[in-house]
Amino acid sequence: MKIHNHILALTTALSLFPSDAVGGLARWQVIGIDTWQPSGRPGNSPDWYIHVNITNPDPTKTDPDPNIAQGKVYCQIVWLYPNVPYNQIKECEIVDTTGPTTWAWTVELLEADDDNPSPILNFDLRWRAASISSAATEEGVEIWTGIGQFEAFKNLQGACAASGFCSWWLNPASAPVLIDVIPVSCQGTVEEALHGINCD
């Protein structure tokens, strides 16, 4: 919660900065998101899910570098009702890449901080990224992290049917959703840092 509150405060405080970068770090861009609530009818998949794509596997680069692999970071969170995986961290994949990448990413579903949270209609996502080529030292490792807020009728559009299923996706008018990024120092291994363990 500490990091979550700091990032949300930073988003407000830096609202006057240009939209492409904050403090020298490029904002991450969410270019696609889909959420799904199943109907619950027999024979249909019972899975609830969030699928999301975020650009640029290397979070430190403000502009594409032809010498560095390009691609997208694809994350999915899948669960069965009523076991919503708030505060559980899932590994992401690098997809559509043009070459090897030395970065790893995770995503975490956070409950929206208001009166009407919903894991498919009103929620936050926290990403963490770290270089897997970095060796842990006595000073620890550095990761990059950012939080995005997603809400129906704001940056999500979709509908819920009478049969019970709901489908929501990124509103084209809101795309891409820009995510402010901050560096965070962690102790321990890169894998631990990607799971938020021993981080400031």
What's residue 14's pLDDT? 31
Mean pLDDT of the chain: 83
CB 67 within 8 A of CB 110: no
Half-sphere exposure of 60 (CA within 13 A, CB side): 12
Domains of the chain by residue range: 2-13+24-194
What's residue 160's pLDDT? 95
38 confidence band (pLDDT: 50, 70, 90): very high
pTM: 0.83
What's residue 67's pLDDT? 59
The percentage of the chain sitting over the pLDDT mark of 70, rounded to a whole number, equals 79
